[in-house]
């Protein structure tokens, strides 16, 4: 299975952007126990109270396809989840699932016959397969900062609402502190490899402009 050797923890914002599942749904599914985040301290009202693993992201893509794209009722997905519980963490990401109408179908690993997961009834029609998109590619897209280089932003719960470089959680003020301490752009980039020379130059330019005003 793709991602077995990938280690990482992703915020609910990142999980939402990669999987397509809304933050509201992520929180609701976690609270109700339908799909809890792998990592969490139980303090769901604080930032990073929920952190998702790589496998979570793969499973959430499947659930996004089933619930949001193919409009499978959540009540049915709960029944499917219960029936697939013996697969553990792999119940959504390690099985071949199909959709027929508003029902989820599983290909039996031994007989290769397709059965309605909840009723166990064999399916003769050819259902539509749920395809898992490459989670690695989606993570790369998330980390792609094209169009955000040299830009600053503020976000709720991001670095205590400080100004940060767009697409990152790195406060602009920290880079300025290094600059004021005599660090060159090249030295700063070694400290913050996620930034670019364009980011550093924009921060310094804004800082010098503010000082001159």
Mean pLDDT, the chain, whole residue set:
81
- Alpha-helical segments (H) within the chain: 12-19, 23-31, 54-63, 74-83, 135-143, 172-180, 185-191, 197-212
- What does the pLDDT look like over 55-108, one tens digit per residue? 899 999 999 999 999 999 999 999 999 999 988 888 898 888 999 989 999 987
User: Cα separation of 120 and 108, whole Å?
Assistant: 10
Structure tokens at 179: 């600059």
Q: Is the pLDDT of residue 148 over 70?
A: no
> Between vectors from CA 132 to CA 25 and to CA 106, what angle results, nearest 5°?
90
Phi/psi at 100 (nearest 5 deg)? -130, 110
The pLDDT value given to residue 145: 59
In the chain, what are the domains? 10-139 (1.10.1660.10), 145-208 (1.10.10.10)
First to last CA, the chain: 57
Is this model's pTM higher than 0.75 or not?
no
> Between vectors from CA 83 to CA 79 and to CA 85, what angle results, nearest 5°?
115
The pLDDT value given to residue 98: 92
User: Cα separation of 64 and 54, whole Å?
Assistant: 15
Average pLDDT over residues 178-184: 89
């Amino acid at each position: 299975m793709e991602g077995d050797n990938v280690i990482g923890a992703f915020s609910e914002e990142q999980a939402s952007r990669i999987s397509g599942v809304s933050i509201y749904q992520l929180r609701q599914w976690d609270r109700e126990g339908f799909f809890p985040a792998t990592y969490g301290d139980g303090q769901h009202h604080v930032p990073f109270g929920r952190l998702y693993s790589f496998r979570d992201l793969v499973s959430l893509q499947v659930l996004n396809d089933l619930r949001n794209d193919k409009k499978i009722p959540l009540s049915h997905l709960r029944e499917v989840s219960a029936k697939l519980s013996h697969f553990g963490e792999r119940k959504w990401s390690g099985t071949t699932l199909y959709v027929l109408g508003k029902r989820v179908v599983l290909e039996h690993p031994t007989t290769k016959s397709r059965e309605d997961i909840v009723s166990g009834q064999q399916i003769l029609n050819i259902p539509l397969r749920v395809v898992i998109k490459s989670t690695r590619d989606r993570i790369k897209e998330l980390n792609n900062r094209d169009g955000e280089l040299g830009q600053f932003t503020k976000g709720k719960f991001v670095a205590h609402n400080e100004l940060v470089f767009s697409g990152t959680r790195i406060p602009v003020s920290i880079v300025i502190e290094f600059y004021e301490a005599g660090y060159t752009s090249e030295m700063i980039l070694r400290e913050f490899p996620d930034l670019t020379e364009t980011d550093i130059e924009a921060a310094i330019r804004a800082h010098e402009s503010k000082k001159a005003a």
